[in-house]
Chains A and B, each alone.
Chain A
Amino acid sequence: MTIKLEDITYSYDKKQVLHDINIQIPEGRLTLICGVTGSGKSTLLRLISRLDEPNSGSISSSIKDDKSAVSMVFQQPETQLFASSAHKDIEYGLEQREVSKPLRPQLIQYAMDKVGLPYELYSQRSPFLLSGGEKRRLCIAGAIAITPDLLVLDEPTAGLDPPAVRGFLQTIQELLRSGLTIVIGTHDLDSFFPIADKVVVMCQGSVHYQGAVAPLIDEPDELNAAGLEAPAYARIGRKLKLQGRLPNIPSSHESLLKELSAQPYPVPADGTHVRPAINLDSEEALTAHKAYNILPSASPDSSPISKRRARWQALDPRVKWLGMVLWTLIILGMNSPGPLLFTTGLIAVLVWSADISWRRTVVFFRPFLIMFLFLWVLSSISLHHADWQLGPLGIAYSGIIQGGLSILRVILMIALGFLFTETTTEAPLREALEWAIAPLKRLGIRTRNWSLAVSITLQFVPWILRKIVQLQLALRSRGRRKNQLKYWTPRQMSLLIVPLLILVISMGDELATAIESRGYDPTKERTPWFVLVWRRSDTLALMFILLTAAGLWLLS
């Protein structure tokens, strides 16, 4: 299928990630999207896959139901495998695309064999226990089993061992021969340039180059300006061409060797050795390896902290802890809509005053809102005191009100936590908590352990939420795109639990290792880096907290 993107722009968190994108994906060809981290490559892949919509511009394709005709495989296989066996995992996608049951085994077997995971050996194995390379191949099998018209892959060779890369390239070539349109986002130009039909080079959110591979090989400045490097065979071939040893720059590793084998080099005389690869004393070697100090940084977002946010961050963390605890207690005691709505407005003003972006707030709250909406619906159902009848279900007015108020209370408490963690970094958060719970030491409680655990857990809430979003996106890419609500059914939610738990456990395990390796010992003395200092601004903040808390208490 052909895809055309016209005048596309896309912004995230007030930052323009993509602008002026005009590209065409040719049918039945391999198009590479190249660019360094932060160039907008992955966002562009999501738009091409129709998993996200641009802020402006249009995306059109040669197929009417184009959303169902695209399959996407993401960079991290851990965030896109859900079922208890490889067979079931692939079958999930087929079921979502309404492939009839009798047809499924044949398609699953074909896809698994195609990616080098023999069906007999792998079909009943748990996806979570496969190696990294096997997981990636299973993801690709899931994507091709649904016989898409367009296959989109993000960094498919990252972390694969060399034989797996070779096998993968063969698979891609076979899929191209069968007429599939493929788009690959990659840094691995050595592997993909020889088989690519078209290259799009992204740089700082815009298209830096689009066209055939050959001009990029002949003139690599376009690649270098985007922070990329021409493949090794092209770099060497170019030097040889400049020396007059080759007529043209070769198009692959094989053609380079073929050209060179036709013109043997004289064997050097005995005792003439080449420069050793590892030269400890060479000044040149030392300067050559200082690249990290001179290369442009490729941070995804490095916007400076705003004045409003800085003011919040400068507050003593103890005053923020106190505010959070006090307000939480008052919110817990609120039972009528008026005070709760007033508090909602007040917290919204505080979030604004901390300069937390709307988008970031929405991303944080979205998973909670969906869950709470479900709970709200449940709380409004009544079997005996229904005010309205919806088919077999009875709906009670009191249930709607009470359920809504309970949920609003929880959301407000979460909002306080969100405000606190967004405006307090890990060290102040930990020091303040350790100070507050210090008296518990007398009871034999290891307060250092507790303060570290709480501060790290709070810091990792946004990480967990990001993983949920990634898992949701992977689920959406596997299913039909017609009915978005289908992705919030209990079954869909239950599919997320196992991979999410595995991600959290493995993250916790590595984090515990890092903490231990950094010499953490709760029984040893330490010298805190962050020193708690109470300033005049903290006294003012404390007064504000106490006054508003008293006001809210009276109001409730």
Chain B
Amino acid sequence: MIQAHNLSLIFQDGQLSLPVLQGIHLHIERGEWLALTGANGCGKSSLIRTFNGLLMPSAGSLTAAGLDLRSPINRKTVKERIQLVFQNPESQTIGSTPAEDIAFGLENRGIPQTEMQDRIEVLLGKVGLAQKAGDDVSTLSGGERQRLAVASCLALDAEMIIFDEVTSMLDPIGRQEIFSLARDLWKQGTTVVWVTQRMEELSESPRIAVMEEGKIIYDGDPRSLFYASPLPDKLGWDLPPVLGIGRLLQSQGWAKENLPLTESDLEGIL
């Protein structure tokens, strides 16, 4: 789905050159779930914006959905196939009701009018907003607006959805709603890049990439990251209790593959 080789991105601030991305190598397979993390300002948002052509890399090669992003026509195509869901749902709602918001993408795709209403209903049902089709979007909760953004991405038949720290401003219900929705889409074949600072979300991801100062410093599975790598300590992460207990068990001689990553893993052990 994404093939990045030696990707670099430099921002110019007057005379100053700020390296935002440096020598990024990353392959994301179709249907994969990749969690991306790193401290504030490490380049996560810039990297994901290169994936759908919003930012052009300064050097290196980048192929998304099989298309070389150096071509402007390819970038235009990729923008529809790889969708971004931002932290702030207000800035991605175009319509003033959920139905209108989804319809905007369908209109642009030239979907026949007779089909449009059915599609809107299916998409709203998919994200659990069927009862709110005609509500004013400003009355939706944060989680509901994020789910609406996902439905609008799906209206474009997106092959890959990038979630950029979408849970950071949400309450527990909103967080659970959007995370569950992303998991369901992934299980149905959508490629997902999940950008997060939350350890609980990382430990539920099959693959994690960690960034620091514009570079990917780890790319692998969660068990190796949390139980075999010095990175969590080096980066000053506060591990959630499940991983803390896992490390305790590890110190008592447990093998890495038996250690828990989630609370349900832990229930199986304890």
Contact = CB atoms under 8 A, between A and B. Distances in A.
Interface string B130-152: 00101100111111100100001
A536 interface: no
Contact of B169 (A75, A240, A268, A510): A75
Nearest to A245: B270
Contacts of A456: 94
Interface in B85-117: 86-88, 90-97, 100, 103-113, 116
A519 B270 contact: no
Contacts, number: 259
Contacts of B79: 516-517
B203 to A, nearest CB: 7
A199 to B, nearest CB: 15
Contact of B172 (A158, A228, A240): A228
A36 B172 contact: yes
Contact of A292 (B38, B83, B177, B269): B177
A270 B94 CA distance: 56
Nearest to A458: B96
Contacts of A293: 128
Nearest to B104: A518
Interface string B244-270: 110011001111011111111111111
Given A510-B86, A511-B91, A277 B40 contact: no
Contacts of B112: 527
A165 B198 CA distance: 11
A132 B40 contact: yes
A117 to B, nearest CB: 13
B20 interface: no
B260 A518 contact: no
Nearest to A425: B96
B156 A519 contact: yes
A507 B108 contact: no
B140 A277 contact: no
A299 B140 contact: yes
A337 B131 CA distance: 48
A260 interface: yes
A291 B177 contact: yes
B94 A518 contact: yes
Interface in A283-333: 286, 289-293, 295-303, 305
Contacts of B105: 518-519
B253 to A, nearest CB: 5
Contacts of A277: 203-204, 222, 260-262, 264-265
Interface of A: 36-38, 75, 131-134, 155, 158-166, 187, 190, 227-229, 232-233, 235-236, 239-240, 243, 245, 253, 256-257, 260-261, 264-265, 267-268, 270, 272-278, 280, 286, 289-293, 295-303, 305, 425-427, 456, 459, 462-463, 506-507, 510-511, 513-521, 524-531
28 contacts: A37-B142, A161-B40, A165-B238, A232-B263, A256-B241, A256-B244, A257-B241, A264-B252, A267-B255, A268-B254, A274-B269, A275-B265, A277-B261, A292-B180, A298-B141, A300-B139, A302-B139, A462-B138, A506-B91, A510-B92, A513-B84, A514-B92, A514-B93, A518-B108, A524-B110, A525-B110, A526-B110, A529-B103
Interface of B: 33, 38-41, 52, 54, 79-80, 83-84, 86-88, 90-97, 100, 103-113, 116, 127-128, 132, 134-135, 138-144, 147, 152-153, 155-156, 165, 168-174, 176-181, 183-184, 187, 197, 199-200, 203-206, 222, 235-238, 240-242, 244-245, 248-249, 252-255, 257-270
